[in-house]
Amino acid sequence: MNEAKKCAIFYVSDGTAITAETVGRSLITQFTGIDFIEKRLAFINDPETAQGAADIIQNTPSDYQPLVVNTVVDIKLRKIIHSAGGLKLDPFNRLLRRIEKTLGIKSDPGVGRTHGMSDSGSYNDRIEATNYALSHDDGVNLNLHKADIILLGVSRSGKTPTCLYLALHYGLKAANYPITDEDLDRMRLPNDVMMHKDKLYGLTIDPFRLSQIRSERRPNSRYAELRKCQKEVSDAEVIYQGKQIQFLNTTHTSIEEISGKIMIALDLNKRLY
Amino acid sequence: MNEAKKCAIFYVSDGTAITAETVGRSLITQFTGIDFIEKRLAFINDPETAQGAADIIQNTPSDYQPLVVNTVVDIKLRKIIHSAGGLKLDPFNRLLRRIEKTLGIKSDPGVGRTHGMSDSGSYNDRIEATNYALSHDDGVNLNLHKADIILLGVSRSGKTPTCLYLALHYGLKAANYPITDEDLDRMRLPNDVMMHKDKLYGLTIDPFRLSQIRSERRPNSRYAELRKCQKEVSDAEVIYQGKQIQFLNTTHTSIEEISGKIMIALDLNKRLY
């Protein structure tokens, strides 16, 4: 019998290893039929922790091929890690040399830590935006004038996690407005929501999936009935279309993708010229 | 006068461009004294969007050097983007070839999209964990038996954003318990918290910063007084130390770093052998 190949992939970093993990995971998604195990080795920033990481890599079970994505900046520590063997994958070194050559400037490894997403918004903006999202969840306590974005959708269509992600990652103030039975009866949204039309974005979801999600929370309720879910979703989509509100189906879409698409649709990609 | 060099860095991807952005940002943090502007060009997945991206790159102001971090998989689309010029930075191609060689297996670009963090926990785990974090925020409605982690800290020490980050990114069920005045008077935590000692992790914060944060929320309150903040923080740290609860100062630490350190401390890095 032809056994699947096995790989152990290590994400080694002097910081959180989020960048190394992001890169490594992108690489391994390109290979099928391989049994991957992953291990994050974060905050490797002195000879002791580096030796600890090397020991872990060296103890990879012998039927696993070790791959080492290494974003540690300090050369001495890198050497300790590399002494453990395995395929060395450095996502940055060659690219840094190319940028240096093009710009005619040396990089300064003492300065930059590979902080990944942590600078997407300043820390304070992100905390403030998270507090905003929490206090403007489910349409309560609405102060929509301050919102960067207002997500619309029926209950359990994915509004809350998306708002929190936009806040935590990008420091965007995201409020959400749950479309109510009353709105659906009237087939319109309240004026104090519609007055912010340029900030509105709708979410929709497959009614079968919605019914399943609602059933987990309230089994055998009218709220979770498939027919009710179908009617709500269909009516919400009619409202979006009638008012030319852009919307997206969240059923098979990751939180990252939903957030990315909303930012493009509402032109919230701030850091540009 | 010696003007700063100027660069425009583009993150181009057929997905959310989170991976391209993570890599690109790690690269540019290594250069000081350069005026960087950034632009994310996400969901570039057909000739039209690729041409649109190429046009944007081509229109870079002439005093800016364009750098193009390109993670688009489709070769035809890559060519369209590269026709725009700029320094081409591909974080994956060479690393993929090296993995292929080591494993003796071809990569399958049709299979893997560069999803970045989106697979860190399954979508459902993450949504469920986010709901858990929201319903177990600020010590209300405690069902700590189900928690993967319980964060302790005085009010405004960073518990809520950290819990939400752990949930949204890693699908970890993170509850938080705010240390109350009553706990501080008694210098102990309630038994129903202490019985989960192996899940406890404390946050602390610089009292000056805490006073500042609280002042923004409730100006001139006793709650925000520096002396009260100093006393609360110092007492909370004594409680942590007395019970050998690991803790971390959040004052100068990003949400990602806090989360990463907690996961290591509580051994919550699940994906391992």
Classify the C-alpha dihedral A84-A69-A44-B31 as positive or negative. Answer: positive
Q: Which residues of A touch B114 (CB under 8 A)?
A: 26, 29
CATH class of segment(s) B5-116: alpha beta
Partner-chain residue, chosen from A17, A22, A261, that has the shortest CB–CB distance to B116: A22
Write out pLDDT tens, residues A139-148.
Answer: 665 788 999 9
The predicted-structure confidence for B254-267, as pLDDT tens digits, reads as follows 888 899 899 989 98
Residue of higher predicted confidence among B60 and B29:
B60
Contacts of B115 (CB under 8 A, 6+ apart): A25, A26, A29, A254, A256, B15, B19
Q: Considering only alpha carbons, which residue of chain A is nearest residue B39?
A: A272
B15/A260 Cβ within 8 A? yes
Question: Using one digit for the tens of pLDDT, what is the confidence trace for A214-225?
Answer: 998 899 999 999
Top pLDDT among B135 and A196 is at A196
| pLDDT for residue A113 is more than 70 | no
Which has more confidence, A88 or B113? A88
Distances (CA, A) of A225 to A138, A186, A208, B232: 21, 21, 9, 49
First and final CA of chain B: distance in angstroms? 58
Chain B nearest-CA distance from A117, in A, is 6
Name the band, by pLDDT with cuts 50, 70 and 90, for residue A117: very low
Q: Does the beta-carbon distance from A43 to B273 stay under 8 Å?
A: no
Q: What does the pLDDT read at residue A272?
A: 39
Domain ranges of chain A: 5-116, 121-265
A133 closest CA partner among A98, A165, A100 = A165
Residues of chain A above pLDDT 70, percent: 92
Of A192, A184, A109, A128, which Cα lies nearest the Cα of A153? A184
Per-residue confidence (pLDDT) for residue A128, from 0 to 100: 86
Q: Please count the other Cβ atoms lying within 10 Å of the Cβ belonging to residue B55.
A: 10
Averaged over A3-30, what is the pLDDT? 88
Average pLDDT of chain B is 88
To the nearest whole Å, the CA of A133 is away from the closest chain B CA by 11
Task: For domain B120-265, give its CATH number from 1.10.1330, 3.40.50, 1.10.1740, 3.30.70.
Answer: 3.40.50
pLDDT the model gives residue A140: 62
Interchain pair B67, A102: CB under 8 A: yes
pLDDT tens column, B190-237: 999 999 999 999 999 999 999 999 998 899 999 999 999 999 999 999
Which residue in the block uniquely carries the two structure tokens 């990114």?
B169
Q: Is A162 on the interface with B (CB under 8 A)?
A: no
Residue A91 near chain B (CB below 8 Å): yes
Predicted confidence at residue B114, as pLDDT, reads: 45
CB A200 within 8 A of CB A159: no
> Is the pLDDT reported for residue B117 higher than 70?
no
The answer to whether the Cβ–Cβ distance between B27 and A260 falls below 8 Å is no
Q: Could you give the percent of chain B with pLDDT greater than 70?
A: 92
Q: Which residues pair with A69 in a beta bridge?
A: A11, A89
Q: Cβ-count burial of B146 within 10 angstroms (0-12 exposed, 13-18 middle, 19+ buried)?
A: exposed
Calculate how close chain B gets to A55, using CA atoms only, in Å: 14
* CB pair distance less than 8 Å for B112 and A30: yes
Q: Tell me whether domains A5-116 and A121-265 share a fold.
A: yes
A117 touches chain B (CB under 8 A): yes
Look up the ipTM and state it: 0.77
CATH 1.20.1740 fits A121-265, yes or no: no
Q: What is the pLDDT of residue A134?
A: 87
* pLDDT single digits (tens) B35-50: 889 898 999 999 999 9
CA distance B144 to B164: 16
Q: What whole-number distance in Å separates Cα of residue B131 and Cα of residue A161? A: 8
8 Å CB contact of A115 and B254: yes
Contacts of B22 in chain A (CB under 8 A): 18-19, 22-23, 116-117
Cross-strand pairs, A58 = none
| pLDDT tens sequence across B58-73 | 999 999 999 999 999 8
CB contact under 8 Å between A26 and B272, yes or no, is no
pLDDT at A143: 82
Pairing of strands A149-153, A87-89: unpaired
On chain B, the residues whose CB falls within 8 A of the CB of A98 are: 87, 89
Asked if B105 and A5 come within 8 Å (Cβ–Cβ), the reply is yes
pLDDT above 50: residue A116? no
Predicted confidence at residue A170, as pLDDT, reads 86
Does residue A93 carry a pLDDT above 60? Answer: yes
Distances (CA, A) of B221 to B183, B185, B213, B216, B218: 21, 20, 12, 10, 6
- Predicted local confidence at residue B139, as pLDDT: 66
Query: What is the reported pLDDT for A118?
Result: 42
d(CA B129, CA A202): 23
Three-state secondary-structure class, residue A11: strand
